[in-house]
Structure 1
Amino acid sequence: MLSSEVFLCGPTQQTLRLGLLAPLSGLMGVAGPAIINCAVLAAEEACRASGTTIDLVLVDAGRAPEDVAREVDLLVGAGLVDGLVGTHTSNIRVAVEARVNNQVPYVFTPPHEFGRASAGSVFLGSDPAEHLRQPIAWLAKHRRVERWALIGNDYVWPRQVHAAATRVLRDLQQRVVMDRLVPMGHVDVAELVAAAQRARADAILVSLVGRDGIEFHRGVTELDASTAFVRLCTALDESCLVAAGGDSSGELYTAMPTFLLQDDDRHRRLLESYVARFGLTAPLPGSYAEGCYDGVHLLAAMCESGLLTTNTATQVAERLFSDANRSDFAQAGIDLRRRPMSMARASGTDLEVVRTLRQV
């Protein structure tokens, strides 16, 4: 359901309406279709489990932050949504939080920057230090890298990634020899690669998001520089890898909560449900999409719990996380446990999980 339709219909007491902030355009637009599919799947599952009608109200979170925040503010102010789930860049989250000001629960699913969540916000993703420490330690040990170039977009999440990475690398006796933040939509791959080579970097931490990351990895291949550095990414899933044309260098790694080739029962059940609902030709449900699936399930459970009348969103989420093994959740096939960080290596258009990640 589009927000324009909701404004025409007005408030309702019979339906649980969840605002879905997903990127239909912009840097993360490539992941948008799969994100929406996973949100729909989660809403349908939550509806069957609870018997409550659930509508998703779609907001394009690929636009300018203030435009997204203004539309969300109108929805919340008019009482048209009961909560928000967002899978988008952090600059959008900052703008939306400032406008919404804890009026409804807001579940943000991707990795997040440092800072405590407000009372109305719940972060499902990892913070930068958690995101990076084990992958960097594994690469330092197994790939014998020492000199790192940090390359990211110039906005809140990559800035905090670079700050956290600098601390983590120092703790692991690694060196930062280059630190570069570039405007979103302005990635000069040749210049960045040349600068990393001049700095004698043997590894690059890439926190370029969505389309910018795709252009960077495609450009590295076109410049025949794919084997010149080990590359570790903070925002690369299978949809972005496919869009970049794949990578067979053996030097491209990514740290994310989930990957398509993971073999655990929880992930396998989701993929089976996704294919049954949308078919084999549907967009790949990468890590961002899977995070949104978790976010919709969590937000629906929060709204259905009855706990939000006397507790903050953060308190309710922690209560549900601690009760994640409750029999009613298990019987409904709902899993509210947090997902740990994983690391994978690109192999063509696949991301193969590095199973020895924790054995650093």
Structure 2
Amino acid sequence: MPTFDESRDETIEILSIVPTQGPGGIIAPSCTAAISLAVDEINSGTGILGREIRLTTIDGGRSPYEVATEVEAFLATGMVGAITGWHTSAVRRAVADAVDGRVPYLYATDHEGLPDERPGVLLVGEHPDHQTVPAVAWMTRELGVRKWAVIGNDYIWPRQTVNALRRALPSPADIVLEQYVPLGTRDFQAFLDSPALLRADAVLVLMVGADTARFNRQFAATGLPAIMPRLSPAVDENVLLSAGPAANTNLYVASSFFVDERTADGRDRRARYRKHQGAFAPALTTFSNSTYEAVHLLRTLADTVGTLDVPTIAGRLATGIVLDGPSTRRGFVGNQAVGPAYLARADGVDFDIIDRLP
């Protein structure tokens, strides 16, 4: 937070919520490093609204109530200008209630697409209708997948994403197995031993971080990957590395935030990241890239609108707004940032981008 001799007029304090414990903890070092790069890039220019950014990171891996309580304490100081980060939707819902529209809250993770978000919550990650559902349609068209098994963590994002998928499938019966497990689950044998799994053509994996890596290792041990592809919108290079190359065979991932080194922008971003963080920094991954883009999107939005005032921002978003900056997010439809989404196939511990999703 700013020191006592600094006023809010001189700095903008941003809270960054990332999990430093639990299954999402493997994501935190990459996200923190990427956000640091974005902050330094912005501060090397004119900052946000002509003011320097100051960053405070809080642990989003605790219970939603604990995270929201800490956010509320920071907000009570009157020094917080905005919130961002990569964390679960359960945490977002609790934090959004605590924030209550006082500051913009740019959520950098894929979400469940419910229409009742609190004022000021701006969704940088994708709605399932724009990412998971088109990826499922791609696998139907290109791989002949008709029947799905679903394994997810037991909270709002996986369950609502499956509801979106169920609405899009020809028949609800096309989901032949659906199981939800607590965050931090280590044993997936009940799912893997289910006879219904053998009636599926593919598996949709809706879990977080280390849970996904553990599942992929156990799934690979069954020998099923050779005949049964998996799809997930929640895998980054940290998850691939944690699972190991052998566990990533026939794994497809949908994302809007791949850092594509086949493009000049992707190569340049990785080069800037390595220069800023050093040779031994955590990887710049799809998840950490989403947090990098969220901070730049906040700057572009604030400078375009001329304020961080939530009602003013909401009014501009309601009329449509186009943004320009180092982000794939080029504008908003309501509170949803819009941009292209892609499908990739895991290649060892990296991604091979194979198509753009409609």
TM-score range, shorter chain: 0.7 to 0.9
The aligned counterpart of 1:112 is 111
Structure 2 residue aligned with 1:132:
132
> Residues 115 and 249 of structure 1: is their aligned pair in 2 closer, same or farther, counting only changes over 3 Å?
closer
Contact 2:106 2:122 in 1 (8 A): yes
Is this contact kept in 1: 2:35–2:292, CA < 8 A? yes
> Do 2:30 and 2:288's aligned partners in 1 also have CA atoms closer than 8 Å?
yes
Paired amino acid for 2:24: M
SS of aligned partner of 1:281: coil
1:309 deviation in Å? 4.0
Q: Give the paired residue count.
A: 346
Residue type of the alignment partner of 1:77: A
Task: Compute the displacement of 1:174 (Å).
Answer: 8.1
* Counterpart check, 1:45 vs 2:41: yes
Pairing 1:142–2:142 present: yes
Q: How does 1:139-288 map to 2 (within 5 A)?
A: 139-170=139-170, 175-195=174-194, 198-247=197-246, 250-288=249-287
* Secondary structure, counterpart of 1:283 in structure 2: coil
Match of 2:23 in 1: 27
Q: State the AA in 2 paired with 1:201.
A: A
Moved more, 283-292 or 192-201: 192-201
Mapped to 2, the partners of 1:339 and 1:196 lie a distance apart of: 40
Q: Name the residue aligned to 1:16.
A: 12
Question: Does structure 1 conserve the Cα–Cα contact (< 8 Å) formed by 2:249 and 2:348?
Answer: no
Corresponding position of 1:346: 346
Distance 1:233 1:163, change over 3 A: same
- Closer, same or farther in 2 for the Cα pair 1:29/1:107, shift >3 Å? same
Residue type matched to 1:292 in 2? T
Amino acid at match of 2:16: L
| Distance in 2 (alpha carbons) for counterparts of 1:351 and 1:16 | 36
How far did residue 130 of structure 1 move?
1.5
Looking at structure 2, the residues matched to 348 and 315 of structure 1 have their Cα atoms a distance apart, in angstroms, of 46
The runs of 5 or more residues in structure 2 that have no matched partner are: 331-337
Cα deviation, 1:55-86, whole Å, max 9, x if unaligned, reads 11111111111111000001112112111112
Q: 1:62 to 1:317 in 2, by over 3 A?
A: farther
2:328–2:339 contact (8 Å) kept in structure 1: no
Kindly indicate whether the alpha-carbon contact (under 8 Å) linking 1:73 and 1:100 is maintained by their aligned counterparts in 2.
yes
Residues 13, 82 of structure 2: 8 Å contact kept: yes
Q: Which residue of 1 aligns with 2:123?
A: 123
Q: Post-superposition shift, 1:248?
A: 6.7
Cα pair distance change 1:255/1:334, threshold 3 Å: closer
Structure 1 residue 324, shift from structure 2 partner: 2.1
The normalised TM-score by structure 2 is 0.88
- Alpha-carbon deviations, 1:90-113, whole Å to 9, x = none? 000001011111111111011111
CA distance in 1, matches of 2:244, 2:314: 40
In 2, distance between residues paired with 1:246 and 1:275? 24
**1:235-281: CA deviations, max 9, x gaps?**
01111111111247642111111224453333333212111211232
Q: 2:62 is matched by which residue type in structure 1? A: R
Match of 2:335 in 1: none
Contact 1:119 1:313 in 2 (8 A): no
Closer, same or farther: CA 225–318 of 1 in aligned 2, 3 Å? same
Offset of 1:181 from its aligned partner? Answer: 1.2
CA distance in 2, matches of 1:345, 1:70: 39
Separation of aligned partners in 1, 2:180 and 2:45:
45
Residue type matched to 2:90 in 1? N
Provide the aligned C-alpha RMSD in A. Answer: 2.5
Q: For 1:118 and 1:214, how far apart are their aligned partners in 2? A: 32
Deviation at 1:230, TM superposition (A): 1.1
How far the C-alpha of 1:10 sits from its partner, in A, is: 8.0
What is the distance in 2 between the residues matched to 1:54 and 1:246? 39
Amino acid at match of 1:220: F
Contact 2:64 2:91 in 1 (8 A): yes
The letter for the 2-side match of 1:53 is: E
Flag the 1:306–1:181 CA change in 2: closer, same or farther, 3 A.
same
How far apart are 1:183 and its partner, in Å?
A: 1.5
**Percent of aligned pairs with the same residue?**
30
CA distance in 1 between counterparts of 2:3 and 2:312 reads 27
